[in-house]
Amino acid sequence: PKTPRADEAFKYLLNVFITTRNYKDALTVMENIGKRDKSIEYAYQKVAYYRGIDLYNTYQFKDAIEHFDKAIANPLDKSVTAQSYYWKGEAQFAMKRYDDAAETYKKFLFEPGAAAQDEYFTANYNLGYAFFKKRSYAEAITWFRKYASITPVEDNKKLNDALLRIGDSYFLTRDFTNAADFYGQAARIRVLNTDYALYQRALCLGLAGDKTKKITELESLVKNFPNSFYAIDSKFEIGRTYIELGNNENAMKYFKSVVTEHPGSKVVSRALVMQGVIYYNTDQNEKAIAVYKQVLKDFPGSPQANEALKGIKEISIQTGRPELYSEVIENTPFANVSRASLDSTHYVSAEGLYLKGECDGAITGFTSYLQKYPEGIFTLHSNFYMAECLYNKNQFDKAIVNYEFVLEKPKNIFTEKSLAKAAAIYYQKKDYFEARKLFERLEKQSEFPQFLTDARIGLMRTNYRLDNLDAAKGFADKVLMRENLPKALENEATLIQAKSALKSNDLELAFTKFETVAGNARSTAVGAEAKYFMAYIRYVQQQFNVSEKEIFALAEKFSAFDYWVAKGFILLADNYVAMGDAFQAKHTLQSIIDNYEGEELKNVAKDKLRILVESEKPAQERKGPEDIEIEMGSDGNKKNKAEGDQSND
């Protein structure tokens, strides 16, 4: 390294690494060059940026940020500097460092020439999201509205989403008039979450005082989107609004519809309580009592059960029948009034710590509560909140116990989240059978789009892990139907579609799918895997020269992924064998044995090389005298090659 021509050698190596897109080693080489001229400095900024992109694409966000900072520290190319700010912001956002992300996005937007970058529009959108995640809703509105005013018309999905977030931000700051306006704008685009936009708009109209319009719009939603997640909530809201307008008959119709048509919904307990309220208000006390008792039986310990108890107590007092309430209390384990006050005090103390994010104290408090009040009013809440704390502290084996307590109860406000978290724990533990069971329950019981998507992603992955490719492919199809799907998830689902097609021997469909992934997932392990299978398919089709080209493209474009490159070169050796070039095959396998560090593929290469060498031995041993090469000696007599060699000793 200290020789006069060291820098020249380093530059040669640098060109090799840049040509093969090996940015990691290219950076190492550049940092070892003694005198870096202007061209090297320019190259250093670009290579640092490209290395950052590689790391970002493999979810190594912290290391990616370090490399973007290296590019920013060498601001020779304004375009690269701006891009580095943008992707640094993306990495910070992915790490949930929303304050840092917001500042970095702003730096990108104010960089000279940023407006000419493709990411300029998206940066405004992402900045809005950074503030939205921080709950800084006024700033979120500013940046989302800026994005909405400048974005190209053809990007309807992102515009639709921005309008929804503007609506949400106004809603959360109780500006219901503006919220209704932007929800309406989003609904008119009709590209993304139209039912959600209509539902939220109707709620805002009601909160702004126009209850009749609220009912009209919710009824329209139920009619036009009968299978929507918001159809059930819409029916409940219509019923509740009719009560506010004094129309008990119509209200009862909608509450009964919720109970009879959606028996598995968590809204059922609320609808039953509202039925009880209507019966009580219309002097139908026996019907009210019957409904309240149904709530106590089917939803013990829930907030609605407490409402039912209050309703029965009110009827007991109004009708002068104290024995009615006493009988219910005696037959309802969680309703012991003498313990209820202490129960509540003990629970509220632990809940307060949980809400402040003090999980250590909350866990102690909830544990104490559950020991003292195993049949208490708040056992459901305590188990769920305790599970959440344990989950956040990575104490998964303990968390699963509390989640499963929640899951043993009738469907409640914590069921879906508990299913999602418990399934995730089993998946992380590689217990794919148990994870699949919970994801199946989540798919059946989910009432929110995100939980349904999570369930289908989980079912796609667990079936894939369990080698049930047909089922995995079916769920991959469903996952890909989701709007605004993250690119990494889209690539994962498409890869599973491709492998399913490969298993079914639909080679051209598989190749097309793999090609899509390889193109969309550049600089990622998923992309490298897809590129490998493109080469493999051409090998199976006996298109050996095409397969060879795909392998060289894999080595060039995905050089950072040693496993897939090595696997590709093993396949290359198979191609050479098929083409009758045993010499090249042996040389290729030997290079893997000498240079690749992973034992698995190194052993595969050794086995293939051994088989190849042994396959050549019988051919040599079968050679007869007529097959042996003959040379003419100086005396004109023929002698075999072995004799000729011996004469030279």
**Per-residue pLDDT tens over the stretch 519-554:** 998 878 899 999 999 999 999 999 999 999 999 999
Q: What is the 3-state secondary structure (H, E, C) of 345-410?
A: HHHHHHHHHHHCCCHHHHHHHHHHHHHHCCCCCCHHHHHHHHHHHHHHCCCHHHHHHHHHHHHHCC
The C-alpha atoms of residue 1 and residue 31 are separated, in whole angstroms, by: 13
pLDDT digits (tens, 9 = 90+) for 342-361: 567 778 889 999 999 999 99
Domain count, the chain: 2
Q: What pLDDT is stored for residue 547 in this prediction?
A: 97
Residue 483 pLDDT more than 80?
no
Question: Is the four-CA dihedral 85, 91, 94, 100 of positive or negative sign?
Answer: negative
- Cα separation, 3 vs 367, in Å, equals 69
Q: Rounded to two decimals, what is the model's pTM?
A: 0.75
Among residues 117, 133, 163, the one where a domain terminates is 117
> How many angstroms from the chain centroid is the CA of residue 43?
35
Supply the pLDDT for residue 522. Answer: 81
Residue 618: is its pLDDT beyond 80? no
- Would you state the structure tokens that stand for residue 388, as one six-digit string? 């959440």
Copy the structure tokens of residue 275.
């039925």
In this prediction, residues 299-317 reach a mean pLDDT of 88
Rounded to whole angstroms, the Cα distance separating 546 from 52 reads 32
> Is the pLDDT confidence value at 108 over 60?
yes
Q: How far is CA 405 from CA 50, 236, 542, in A?
A: 49, 28, 57
pLDDT at residue 640 tops 80: no
Phi, psi of 75 (to 5 degrees): -80, 60
Question: How many Å separate Cα 493 from the centre of its chain?
Answer: 11
Closest Cα partner for 145 from 112, 177, 186?
A: 186
Among 266-270, 397-401, 417-421, the least confident range: 266-270
Alpha carbon distance 547, 408 (integer Å): 54
pLDDT digits (tens, 9 = 90+) for 362-411: 999 999 999 988 887 789 999 999 999 999 999 999 999 999 999 998 88
Asked whether the predicted pLDDT for residue 336 surpasses 80, the reply is no
Give the lowest-confidence range in 66-80, 197-211, 317-331, 401-415: 317-331
CA distance 573 to 497: 28
**Confidence label for 559 from pLDDT (cuts 50, 70 and 90):** confident
CA–CA distance, 524 with 466 (Å, rounded to integer): 24
Whether the per-residue pLDDT at 422 is higher than 60: the answer is yes
Closest residue by Cα to residue 564 from 553, 573, 555: 555
Chosen domain end from 117, 137, 155: 117
With H, G, I as helix, E, B as strand and everything else as coil, classify residue 1: coil
What average pLDDT does the segment 43-47 reach? 89
Q: CB pairs under 8 A, 24+ apart, for 212-217?
A: 212/245, 214/241, 215/241, 215/242
The helix (H) or strand (E) run that includes residue 67 is helix 61-72
Beta pairing partners, 639: 631
H/E/C letters for each residue in 460-494?
HHHHHHCCCHHHHHHHHHHHCCCCCCCHHHHHHHH
Give kind and range of the element (H or E) at residue 632: strand 630-632
504 and 498 Cβ atoms separated by less than 8 Å: no
Residues 6+ apart with CB under 8 A from 95: 61, 62
In the chain, % of residues over pLDDT 70: 90
Those residues whose C-beta lies under 8 Å from the C-beta of residue 575, and which sit 6 or more positions away, are 539, 544, 547, 548, 551
List, for residues 46-74, the tens digit of each pLDDT value. Answer: 999 999 998 898 889 999 999 999 999 99
Tell whether the model's pLDDT for residue 24 goes beyond 90: no
What pLDDT score was predicted for residue 285? 95
User: Tokens 């690749």 belong to which residue?
Assistant: 596
CA dihedral 504, 505, 511, 514 (to 10 degrees): 30
What is the extent of the structural domain holding 631? 503-649
Stretch 586-606: mean pLDDT, rounded? Answer: 93
Name 631's bridge partners: 639
pLDDT above 70 (res 18): no
Q: Pick left, alpha or beta for residue 247 (phi over 0 → left; psi -120 to 50 → alpha; otherwise beta).
A: beta
Two structure tokens written together for 367:
């544990």
| Cα dihedral 374, 375, 381, 384 sign | positive
Residue 580 counted as domain residue: yes
3-state secondary structure of 622: coil
Does residue 636 carry a pLDDT above 50? no
Quick one: pLDDT band at residue 340, thresholds 50, 70, 90?
low
Which of 186, 133, 136 minimizes the C-alpha distance to 164? 186
Instruction: Measure the CA–CA gap between 423 and 479, rounded to whole angstroms.
Output: 17
pLDDT value at residue 5: 47
Beta carbons within 10 angstroms of residue 133's beta carbon: 15
Paired residues of 440 in beta bridges: none
On the question of pLDDT at 644 being above 60, the answer is no
Domain assignment present for residue 509? The answer is yes
Q: What residues have CB less than 8 Å from 187, skipping those under 6 apart? A: 194, 197, 198, 201
Q: For residue 518, what are its two tokens?
A: 């390889």
User: Is 635 a domain residue?
Assistant: yes
Q: What is the pLDDT of residue 339?
A: 53
What are the structure tokens assigned to 451, written together? 């939980």
Distances (CA, A) of 427 to 167, 463, 572: 36, 11, 35
pLDDT number for residue 624: 46
Length, in residues, of the chain: 649
Choosing from 96, 117, 138, the residue where a domain stops is: 117
> What is the distance between the alpha carbons of residues 466 and 434, in angstroms, rounded to a whole number?
11
What is the reported pLDDT for 15? 58
Q: Let me know if residue 185 belongs to a domain.
A: no
Q: If you average pLDDT over each of 13-27, 170-184, 319-333, which comes out highest?
A: 170-184
User: Which residue, among 481, 472, 431, 432, has the nearest Cα to 452 in the 3D structure?
Assistant: 481
Q: Which two tokens stand for residue 576?
A: 């050479």
Within a domain: 50: yes
Say if 221 falls within a structural domain: no
Contact in structure between 350 and 382 (CB atoms under 8 Å): yes
- 444-471: per-residue pLDDT in tens? 998 888 899 999 999 999 999 999 999 9
Residue 18 lies in a domain: yes
Q: Residue 106: what pLDDT?
A: 97
Residue 249 belongs to some domain of the structure: no
Q: What distance lies between CA 147 and its chain's CA centroid?
A: 25
To which residue do tokens 């409940």 refer?
236
CATH number at residue 110: 1.25.40.10
Among the listed residues 328, 268, 325, the one whose alpha carbon sits nearest the alpha carbon of residue 298: 268
Q: Report the first-to-last Cα separation within the chain, whole angstroms.
A: 45
Tell whether the model's pLDDT for residue 77 goes beyond 80.
yes
Residue 630 has pLDDT above 60, yes or no: no
- What tens digit of pLDDT does each residue of 213-263 get? 999 999 999 999 998 989 999 999 999 999 999 999 999 999 999 999 998
CA R_g for the chain: 34
